[in-house]
Each structure stands twice: as structure tokens, then as C-alpha cells.
């Protein structure tokens, strides 16, 4: 959407509000575009990563996140790429945890592929992280290696157990892929629920050129839910995190199952989030090519006044909804940037 003159304001730390009355309280920050895996729906096999000099420093990321927290953000999620592969990233987590201690921030969390969790889970818990999302699409080692192009499932499963041992609540995120893992979804759900973990299923999103046909990958979750409904009792829940997932309780397992459906259901009406890339670019919508540069005002002055004004201008232009669509004629993505650049 363009042409709106409404801007978000946050005097004395009051909440940011977009042109459609949605309060922005959730920030997702990609701290790196790099990853130690190459999942087929996320990256091309021969990715060209950003020069390290283009990335915000950890100190700049801290200052940027803190500016958003001052403006009313209550939930902060660190993403990538794979956030745990960035050197010294735990110093950023520890520094940001000060906002938990003051009460300015309600939750500090991250999304990870799980490959580094054995090493970092205890420290994450010590920093005040209480729950994490782990991306895992299959429990079949060969299929896992095919999806990730070279990943080790055993390492990820050991990382999940380390996280649980450290007291972290783990939610599993799985992308539903046609003719790849669709037959595994019931078993993946049963496994997660047996361990007390929620599972969220995600439709493949049309982002970035990855050398795979989007139509070939796309599996509508309406179909998945209908199939599950033939064997399980799915009870709709009123859980509303302001996020895209719609949740059910599975009576037979007692566990929680979420559906994120960017293609079959526009989930934008209650969107409370924005994303910042590792280069300081603010995207107010995952499914738009919108971009606001926060790196320049961040580096222009030691004061946050110019940065705060840039954030307000961007929030004031947040669109009503995304434009995700699979281009069946040209088989191309709706958004050209890779998910790993935007932040998962």
C-alpha cells in the first residue's frame, strides 16, 4: 500500500501502531544470512552470501533492537540464516537479555535449524531464553540429508534433546512439501507430541530463486488438515499470538498443532510483527518487496532520534496484507529475496 500519511508514534515508549490499527510489538531480526545447511525451499545450493562488511555489527544489532524495544516491542526473535553460526552471537543474546531483567522485553527467543544447539542450549537458557523454534521437516536421515542437501539429522536430534534438558520449551516447525514429507506428517506430529513439543506446519512460500519448481513443492495445508481429520480429532483453539499460525489441540495425542497458510489463507489481519535483515533493512511485510534502510540513520548519529524517525515512517507504510501467489505461468517467486536474507 502506498500513499498513506499515517505514521506510527511511540512517545515515552508507547506502542507503535500501523495504518490499520495493528499494534507492532514483535520484531524478528536476522543476524546473518549464512547457514550451515541449504534447505531446498530456502536457499539455492550455490548461495552467494553477503560480504561480511555489509552486515551490522553485533553492537549495532543491539542498538537497533533496543531502539525497537524502547518503542514498544515486547517480543524479540533472532533468526538467520542460522543465527547460531554467527561468531560471538551469544554476546548479543546476553546483552539483549538486560531488557528481560528490566521488564521492557517480555520474551527473547530464536529460530534455529538445531545443528548448534548441543553447544549453546545451556547458555541460551542462562540468558533468559525460555523457548525456541527448531526447523525440522523429517525424521528420516536420508530424506533430511536430501532436503538440507548435506545435513546430519542425528546432530539436530541431539541438539533438541540438549535444549529440552536445559529447560527450553521447543516448538518444531515443518515445511509441508508435496511428494517429499507429506506422508510423514502424522508420524512427525506423534513424535513431537510424545516429547511435549508443539508442531507447526508451514506452507512453502514463494520467495527467492532456488532452482526448484514452486508448484512442485507446494502442498496446501487445507488438504493436510483434512487428511489428519480422518484419523485424529482436531479441536480448534482460540490461541492468538498475533502471528500467522492457527492452532488445534489433537485429542488423541494431547498435543498442539499449528498451521501457517500464507497461500491458502491470508493471515494478515492481526499481524503484529516486522522484520529487520542483517544489513539493517526493515521489511514491514514478509510478502512485499518493501524496504526501509535503517543502517544509514543508525550510523549517522550516536543519537537514536534519526533512527526512531525512520522506524516511524516505515511502520506508517506497513501494507494491509501480503501478495504471496505462485506464478503458475512463469513459475517464479512473488518476492525475489531469499527467506534466509529476510529472516525466517
Could you tell me which residues are annotated as the binding site for [4Fe-4S] cluster?
35, 39, 42, 268, 271, 285
Distance CA 269, CA 267 (A): 6
> How many C-beta atoms surround the C-beta of residue 90 within 10 A?
17
CA 119 to chain centroid, in Å, comes to 21
Q: How many CA atoms lie within 13 A of 44 on its CB side?
A: 12
Three-state DSSP class for residue 62: helix
Let me know: does 233 contact 290? Beta carbons within 8 Å.
no
Question: Binding site for S-adenosyl-L-methionine: what residues are annotated?
Answer: 41, 81, 135, 205
Determine the number of helices (DSSP H) and then strands (DSSP E) in the chain.
12, 14
Distance CA 45, CA 179 (A): 20
Question: Binding site for GTP: what residues are annotated?
Answer: 28, 77, 111, 171, 273-275
Q: What is the Cα Rg of the chain in Å?
A: 19
Three-state DSSP class for residue 105: coil
* Burial class for 57, CB neighbours closer than 10 Å (0-12, 13-18, 19+): exposed
H/E run at residue 273 = strand 273-276
Question: Binding site: what residues are annotated?
Answer: 28, 35, 39, 41-42, 77, 81, 111, 135, 171, 205, 268, 271, 273-275, 285
- DSSP type of residue 332: B
Per the DSSP assignment, residues forming a β-bridge with 30 are 79
Q: How many CA atoms lie within 13 A of 142 on its CB side?
A: 0
Distance CA 223, CA 342 (A): 28
Amino acid at each position: 500500500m502506498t500513499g498513506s500519511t499515517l505514521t506510527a508514534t511511540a512517545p515515552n515508549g508507547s506502542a507503535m501502531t500501523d495504518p490499520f490499527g495493528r499494534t507492532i510489538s514483535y520484531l524478528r531480526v536476522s543476524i546473518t544470512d549464512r547457514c550451515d545447511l541449504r534447505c531446498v525451499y530456502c536457499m539455492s545450493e550455490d548461495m552467494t552470501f553477503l560480504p561480511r562488511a555489509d552486515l551490522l555489527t553485533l553492537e549495532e544489532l543491539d542498538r537497533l533492537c533496543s531502539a525497537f524495544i524502547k518503542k514498544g516491542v515486547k517480543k524479540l526473535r533472532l533468526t538467520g540464516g542460522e543465527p547460531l553460526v554467527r561468531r560471538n552471537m551469544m554476546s548479543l543474546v546476553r546483552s539483549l537479555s538486560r531488557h528481560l531483567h528490566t521488564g521492557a522485553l517480555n520474551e527473547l527467543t530464536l529460530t534455529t535449524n538445531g545443528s548448534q544447539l548441543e553447544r549453546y542450549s545451556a547458555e541460551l537458557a542462562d540468558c533468559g531464553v525460555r523457548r525456541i523454534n527448531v526447523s525440522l521437516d523429517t525424521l528420516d536421515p536420508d530424506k533430511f540429508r536430501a532436503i538440507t542437501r548435506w545435513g546430519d539429522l542425528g546432530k539436530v536430534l541431539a541438539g533438541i534433546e540438549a535444549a529440552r534438558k536445559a529447560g527450553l520449551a521447543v516448538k518444531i516447525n515443518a515445511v509441508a512439501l508435496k511428494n517429499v514429507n507429506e506422508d510423514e506428517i502424522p508420524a512427525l506430529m506423534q513424535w513431537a507430541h510424545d516429547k511435549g513439543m508443539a508442531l507447526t506446519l508451514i506452507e512453502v512460500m514463494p520467495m527467492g530463486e532456488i532452482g526448484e519448481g514452486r508448484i512442485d513443492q507446494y502442498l496446501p495445508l487445507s488438504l493436510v488438515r483434512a487428511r489428519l481429520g480422518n484419523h485424529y480429532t482436531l479441536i480448534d483453539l482460540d490461541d492468538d499470538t498475533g502471528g500467522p499460525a492457527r492452532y488445534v489441540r489433537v485429542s488423541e495425542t494431547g498435543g498442539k498443532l499449528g498451521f501457517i497458510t500464507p497461500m491458502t489463507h491470508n493471515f494478515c489481519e492481526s499481524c503484529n510483527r516486522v522484520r529487520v535483515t542483517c544489513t539493517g533493512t526493515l521489511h514491514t511485510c514478509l510478502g512485499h518487496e518493501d524496504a526501509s534502510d535503517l543502517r544509514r540513520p543508525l550510523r549517522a548519529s550516536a543519537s537514536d532520534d534519526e533512527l526512531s524517525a525512520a522506524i516511524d515512517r516505515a511502520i506508517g507504510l506497513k501494507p494491509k496484507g501480503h501478495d504471496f501467489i505462485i506464478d503458475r505461468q512463469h513459475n517464479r517467486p512473488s518476492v525475489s529475496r531469499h527467506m534466509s536474507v529476510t529472516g525466517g
